[in-house]
């Protein structure tokens, strides 16, 4: 099968490209970033760097003769980024719109869209107790009130994908990712997510000898975090067992940010003084994936524990920081 992966220079898509190549597929990999900034690259893929998929002609040219598209291209990052870049995040609707137009006109029959848990209404994520007792079920996306900017972009693109299926017969899959993490992910610079940020801060504290850590908010806000290997497995199963209904793709092992710090401290064998920054971006108060529907549809759900996944992530980030320190100073 010939497959186009949009956003291939990103974290999740890099693992996806590796998986697709291992399965024997022919992969066209495209990303707006220059080649040296791609998270992972593979010589046996057809790679296109500096390729802005927000420009329609790129989507049309790259999708000619393609059997399936995976669109993971968008402007995104951790909470600090998406809360301060609403317009930039919203511009990503152009990418999925152009991909769908190109798929229709070039005869591409299948497309997978990477959505997000940020599409869920903010008011049902305002109470930690609700997150503990209920989780986010797929049908609760409506009435809509997603996260500003990024959440609206994802929800709009979901709806557009659905209509292209209805009107033009494009078979689609929609994955609502819940906080994917792992080695090769962003770990500094402002776009990193909580697991990588916490690992980096714990490692910094050990390296510097200043045994303190800044936590955004009071640390009681909750999330679930999915290890990258589970994410790739889920995307594979979406095609073999799924259908066009959007599905949560996330772990249902919910933790508070304080508990996330506990796990990172245990891995690093250190205990830190916690300084809480109540003015920092925090996002919704409580969020967890409800996995009832994915179990029904796929007969599977993410199962790698946060403890196991974070240990691998911590070790990788430690190596990156050690290399930075050895070469040019961190």
Which tops the pLDDT comparison, 81 or 257? 257
Determine whether 39 is an active site residue. Answer: no
Q: Lowest-pLDDT range, 34-38, 79-83, 275-279, 286-290?
A: 79-83
Mean pLDDT score across all residues of the chain: 93
What's the mean pLDDT in 263-276?
96
What is the DSSP track for 165-215?
HHHH--EEEEEEE--EE-TTS--SSS---HHHHHHHHHHHHHHHS--EEEE
What's the mean pLDDT in 60-73?
98
pLDDT, position 138: 97
d(CA 73, CA 64): 18
Q: Which two tokens stand for residue 226?
A: 């999915």
d(CA 198, CA 320): 15
d(CA 86, CA 329): 33
CB 279 within 8 A of CB 324: no
Which pLDDT band holds residue 328 (cuts at 50, 70, 90)?
A: very low
Which tops the pLDDT comparison, 76 or 327? 76
CB 166 within 8 A of CB 287: no
Strand order, beta sheet including 26-30: 46-48, 26-30, 2-6, 68-71, 110-116, 171-177, 247-249
- Eight-class DSSP state of 139: G
pLDDT, position 130: 59
By residue count, the chain amounts to 330
pTM for the whole structure: 0.92
Domains of the chain: 2-181+226-249 (3.40.50.720), 194-223+254-288+305-323 (3.90.25.10)
- List pLDDT tens digits, range 84-120: 889 988 999 999 999 999 999 999 999 999 999 999 9
- First-to-last alpha carbon distance for the chain, in angstroms, is 43
Which pLDDT band holds residue 15 (cuts at 50, 70, 90)?
A: very high
Catalytic residue among 120, 150, 181, 314: 150
pLDDT, position 259: 97
d(CA 280, CA 79): 9
Q: Which two tokens stand for residue 312?
A: 């691998």
- List pLDDT tens digits, range 115-150: 999 999 988 887 766 555 578 999 999 999 998 899
Q: Which two tokens stand for residue 128?
A: 């930690």
What is the DSSP track for 306-323?
HHHHHHHHHHHHHHHHHH
Which H or E element spans position 224? strand 222-224
pLDDT, position 78: 66
What's the mean pLDDT in 286-311?
96
d(CA 304, CA 229): 8
pLDDT, position 277: 95
pLDDT, position 75: 82
pLDDT, position 325: 63
Q: Lowest-pLDDT range, 74-88, 154-168, 233-247?
A: 74-88
Which H or E element spans position 22? helix 11-22
The residue to which tokens 């430690």 are assigned: 318
- Percent of the chain having pLDDT more than 70? 95
Is the pLDDT at 156 greater than 70? The verdict is yes
Strand 26-30 vs strand 180-181: parallel, antiparallel, or unpaired? unpaired
- List pLDDT tens digits, range 209-238: 999 999 999 999 999 999 999 999 999 999
């Amino acid at each position: 099968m010939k497959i186009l992966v949009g956003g291939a220079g990103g974290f999740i898509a890099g693992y996806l490209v590796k998986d697709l190549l291992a399965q024997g597929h022919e992969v066209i990999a495209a990303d707006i970033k220059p080649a040296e900034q791609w998270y992972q690259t593979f010589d046996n893929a057809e790679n296109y760097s500096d390729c802005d998929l927000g420009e329609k002609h790129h989507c049309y040219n790259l999708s000619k003769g393609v059997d399936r598209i995976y669109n993971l291209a968008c402007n995104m990052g951790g909470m600090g980024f998406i809360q301060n870049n609403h317009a930039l995040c919203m511009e990503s609707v152009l990418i999925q719109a152009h991909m769908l137009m190109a798929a229709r006109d070039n005869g591409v029959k299948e497309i997978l869209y990477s959505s997000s848990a940020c599409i869920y209404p903010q008011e049902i994520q305002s109470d930690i107790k609700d997150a503990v007792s209920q989780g986010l079920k797929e049908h609760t996306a409506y009435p809509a009130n997603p996260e500003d900017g990024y959440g609206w972009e994802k929800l709009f693109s979901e709806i557009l994908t659905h209509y292209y299926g209805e009107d033009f017969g494009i078979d689609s899959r929609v994955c609502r990712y819940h906080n994917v993490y792992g080695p090769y992910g962003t770990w500094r610079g402002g776009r990193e997510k909580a697991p990588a940020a916490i690992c980096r801060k714990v490692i910094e504290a050990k390296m510097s000898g200043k045994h303190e850590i800044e936590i955004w908010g009071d640390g009681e806000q909750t999330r679930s975090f999915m290890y990258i290997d589970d994410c790739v497995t889920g995307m594979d199963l979406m095609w073999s067992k799924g259908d066009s209904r959007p599905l949560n793709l996330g772990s249902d092992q919910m933790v508070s940010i304080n508990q996330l710090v506990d796990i990172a401290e245990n891995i690093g064998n250190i205990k830190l003084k916690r300084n809480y920054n109540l003015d920092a971006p925090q996002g919704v108060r409580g969020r967890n994936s409800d996995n009832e529907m994915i179990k029904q549809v796929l007969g599977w759900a993410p199962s790698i524990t946060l403890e196991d996944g974070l240990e691998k992530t911590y070790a990788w980030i430690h190596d990156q920081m050690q290399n930075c320190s050895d070469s040019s100073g961190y």
